[in-house]
Every structure is written in C-alpha cells, then in structure tokens.
Amino acid sequence: MASNALIAYKLDNGDDMNLTPGRVRELLVNGDKDKVSDREVTNFMMLCKAHRLNPFTREAYLIKYGSSPATMVVGKEVFTKRAQKNPRFKGFEAGVSVLSSDKTKLTRRDGSMVVEGETLVGGWCRVYVDGYENPMFDEVSMREYSTGKSNWTSKPATMIRKTAIVHALREAFPDEFGGLYDAVEMGVGEEDMPEGDVEQPRIEAVYETADEASAAPDGAEEEKGLAGLATEAVCANCGNVVSEVAADATAQDLDAGMACCESPSYELR
C-alpha cells in the first residue's frame, strides 16, 4: 500500500478519522517502526476502521520488535466504555478466585482483595445482558496469563480481574469485541503502551492530476475520491461493506485485517 493511500472512516462520536500508512509508521508504531511490514501496517489500519478505533487517543496500539510478528491491542478502557454504550448491557460483577491457606477451599470474591495466607489462582466476571436468561460468566487462570513481571508482580489481583472482565465482555458482545484483544491477553507490558494522545497531523489531499491540484483552494481538506482509493469491498460471508479501500490493497489484506465475522472473505469491487 502506498505511503499516502488514505483509509477514512467515522468514529463513534461522529468525527472523521483519516489514516495513511506513512503516518501510522511514523507516529503510531511502538517499538521498531523500521521493522514493521507494509501488511502489518495495513492490517492495523483495517482493524481500526472495522472497530471505529482512534489510535491517536490510544484506543489501539501497533507494537513491533525485531522480526517477531507485530502485536495489535486495544487500549485499557475500550471494552468497558463501549459496553456501557450498548443498550443491552446491564452491568457486570467481577473479582478474584483464591485458595484458602490450607489449599482446600476455593473462594470467588468480589473486587481485587487477597487476604494474607490465601493464594491468588484466577479472576472471574459475570456480564448481564438484556435478553439472556443467565449472565455470561468467565473465569481465567493466573497460570495462563501472569508473566511475573511489571504489574503482574505489584498488582496481580487487579490484572487477573481485568483479564476476566475483557474475556466475559467479548463473549457477551462478540459483534462489538470479536477480534479485539487487551494488552494483558497478548503479553504486552505497560512500557510498550505509552499514555497521552498523539498529535493528529493534517493529511494533505492527494490529487490525480496537476490540474486538480492547481485548482484546489488553499488549505483544502481531504476529498472523497482521492487517488489511491478503490470503490469498496464486501465480505462474502456476512455482507459487511468496506468503503474507500486503498487501490493496491488485496482481498487477502482485508481478510487478515477485518474482524467482521469468524471467517472474513472479502471481494474487491
């Protein structure tokens, strides 16, 4: 994908979001930005568009180190904030799972408190959804997720409870959260997820001809029909439509970068 190919979409608040591979690589890659591949950048842009994420406000992170595949995770508040906006969401309960000092009794406790002598073994969450007879319940294990580093050492109960919340919300609202993963689930440390907004640069319009450029008014904003944009792509499995696809993006790029259904299969139009 060309460095100035534009991916444009609307955020949940109605604001316009415009991403180009060049801007993503320059401003939004955490780690080795020179190592990230064009496909990884494209997949990240497609993920942001599919879920209406604003990477400049840290709703999504693209993390790359060396030759390892890039990791794409969402910010820590994306799951809870979006769940609260869903009219079917009726709240949740969450806490920790602990073993008694003699290892004979398992207790599921609300919140994140672990009493001296107890062993923290996991976290749990119940999500209440309008129309469901029973709440969506999930429980996760410390053994599976704890890295023993950073916050897993200083705040293990908080971390495992948060992981359980993310799991349960994804199962409760798969259309909203399918394909999105929290940093904890992907083994990403806080040092790879800097806080604070990234200044969003203005993206200059790309014109097909010199005549168009000379005729454009000073300070013109981006226009529909920019060079480098195809018409649209449609998922053959679920019917999801992606508009303003970069002309040199392939169907395989879309299949890898979208999370509209369990098995995306896109056709360019």
Clarify whether residues 71 and 198 are in a common domain.
yes
Q: Is the dihedral of CA 77, 78, 80, 85 positive or negative?
A: positive
Residue 206 in any domain: the answer is yes
What was the pLDDT predicted at 244? Answer: 53
Residue 94 in any domain: the answer is yes
| Separation of alpha carbons 95 and 113, rounded Å | 8
Q: Which domain holds residue 263?
A: 7-75+194-268
What was the pLDDT predicted at 101? Answer: 94
pTM of the model: 0.70
Q: Which long-range contacts (CB under 8 A, 24 or more apart) does 259-265 make?
A: 259/47, 259/50, 259/51, 259/178, 259/179, 259/180, 260/50, 260/235, 261/178, 261/235, 261/237, 262/178, 262/237, 263/237, 264/235, 264/237, 264/238, 264/240, 265/235, 265/236, 265/237
Clarify whether residues 229 and 150 are in a common domain.
no
What was the pLDDT predicted at 151? Answer: 86
**What secondary structure, in 3-state letters, does 229-266 show?**
ECCEEEECCCCCEEECCECCCCHHHHHHHCCCCCCCCE
Residue 187 in any domain: the answer is no
Clarify whether residues 116 and 70 are in a common domain.
no
| Separation of alpha carbons 189 and 210, rounded Å | 47
Residue 251 in any domain: the answer is yes
Stated as kind and residue range, the H or E segment containing 196 is none
Q: Based on the structure, what is the number of domains in the chain? A: 2
Domain boundary among 173, 208, 225: 173
| Separation of alpha carbons 230 and 197, rounded Å | 31
What is the pLDDT tens value at each position of the chain, 269 positions in all?
A: 555 678 999 999 999 999 999 999 999 999 898 999 999 999 999 999 999 999 999 999 999 999 999 999 998 789 999 999 999 999 999 999 999 999 999 999 999 999 999 999 999 999 999 999 999 999 999 999 998 888 899 999 999 999 999 999 999 999 999 889 998 888 887 767 777 788 777 655 443 343 444 444 444 443 333 334 445 676 766 666 665 555 556 666 665 666 666 677 766 66
| Separation of alpha carbons 48 and 30, rounded Å | 16
Residue 113 in any domain: the answer is yes
Domain boundary among 112, 141, 173: 173
Domain boundary among 173, 207, 242: 173
CA angle 158, 188, 120 (to 5 degrees): 30
Clarify whether residues 201 and 152 are in a common domain.
no
What was the pLDDT predicted at 227? Answer: 36
Q: Residue holding tokens 């369990």?
A: 262
Clarify whether residues 98 and 126 are in a common domain.
yes
> Are the C-beta atoms of residues 120 and 156 closer than 8 Å to each other?
yes
CB-neighbour burial class of residue 245 (10 A; exposed 0-12, middle 13-18, buried 19+)? buried
Residue 47 in any domain: the answer is yes
CA angle 196, 198, 200 (to 5 degrees): 145
| Separation of alpha carbons 158 and 171, rounded Å | 20
Clarify whether residues 166 and 106 are in a common domain.
yes
Residue 182 in any domain: the answer is no
Residue 186 in any domain: the answer is no
